[in-house]
Homo-oligomer: A and B are copies of this chain.
Amino acid sequence: MTTIYDIAKLANVSPMTVSRVINNNGRVSDKTRAKVKKIMKDLHYVPNSMARSLVLQQSHIITLLITDITNPFYTTVARGAEDAANRNGYKLMFGNTDESLLKEQEYVDTFLSMRVDGVLFAPVGDDSKPHLERLQQNNMPLVLLDREVPGVTADAVIGDSKDGARKLVELLIQQGHTRIALVNGSSHVSTARERLNGYVEALKLNDLPVDPSYVTEWKYNQTGGDREVIRSWMDREDRPTAIFAANNILALETLKLLRSMDVRVPDDISLVSFDDFGQADEVSPFLTVASQPAYQFGVLGMQMLIERIQNNEQPARKLVLPCSLITRASSIPPLHLS
């Protein structure tokens, strides 16, 4: 591809003069400037940002790593982060780990080796710790998103999972449910632990028993969960009258499973969950959810990151965003009360 040397030769000037024209600094006469610009256009010249960031030591690129690009929660986060990045003159590029630690590690290496200016990071879980430490050891500006990691001190924007979970479960209790099951994410993820905490707390506050056999753990992206657990719940005498799914994807999977067993929601069992479904909610608003301000997650995370890029020495900050309860058709009082 064309370089400043090619252009310099054609324009009968030195490469440095071309560089000056490109960056619009230093003194270049209008005549040579025009001549150089014309040749650049004719040759479809594009500056090589590899070479440029090699000498400038910065790329003006920020990356966002999410764990599930098909999850509307994360894509909405992405939109927020993108808008905030563009407003500040940064380009945003995305990576998707698919809840895989291996992919996460590879992306971390890619980001480090690309010398991006900063990373917005939704970690896979607690085992992401070495990856985060690797970023920090290399002094890479970093902001955690949605999930915290024990033992890692870093800026973070997270949701109030415990509070949201408690609100959901208390709603169910108010509706008369006493046997509430939980389809949770992996306990290696902070949000799953917090949601379990909120679930337990709501039960205890209302003097309801906490039955561990009513709690199961899947991965947040639903792969590899034990489908039989739900089946076994339905076979019990004291079958739960409501299920709390810890995120939107788990709620969908649960719903599918219930349908395949001819269990109707909400007639036979109520279902509530965390996170909306993006625009799809409009089709037929159905699930009662604790909704998180996804777009704001992205915007605020990006702002925090850009401040950290400007000064990586400041102490770590943590932002906890509230969730709001949206009551819809999927949760109703249990049969014996209606």
Given known contacts A50-B50, A70-B75, A70-B79, A115 and B1 CB-to-CB distance under 8 angstroms: yes
Q: How far is the CB of A77 from chain B (nearest CB, A)?
A: 10
Given contacts A54-B50, A69-B78, A79-B96, contact A283 B286 (CB under 8 A): yes
- Expressed in whole angstroms, the Cα–Cα distance for A205 and B121 within the complex equals 54
A82 CB within 8 Å of chain B: yes
Q: Say yes or no: A255 contacts B280, CB within 8 Å.
A: no
Copies in the complex: 2
Tell me the complex Cα distance, A134–B46, Å.
10
Stretch at the interface among A106-114, A157-165, A166-174, A234-242: A106-114
Which of A32-40, A87-95, A180-188 is the contact stretch?
A: A87-95
A100-B277 Cα distance, complex, nearest whole Å:
24
Cross-interface CB contact of A50 among B94, B115, B279, cutoff 8 Å? B115
* Interfacial residues, chain A to chain B (CB-CB below 8 A): 1, 44, 46-54, 59, 61, 63, 69-70, 72, 75-76, 78-79, 82, 86, 91, 93-96, 98, 103, 106-107, 109-110, 112-115, 134, 137-139, 248-249, 252, 255-256, 277-284, 286-287
Contacts of A256 on B, CB cut-off 8 Å?
282
Chain B residues near A76 (CB, 8 Å)?
Answer: 70
When the two chains form the complex, which single residue of B52, B75, B138 contacts A75, counting CB atoms closer than 8 Å? B75
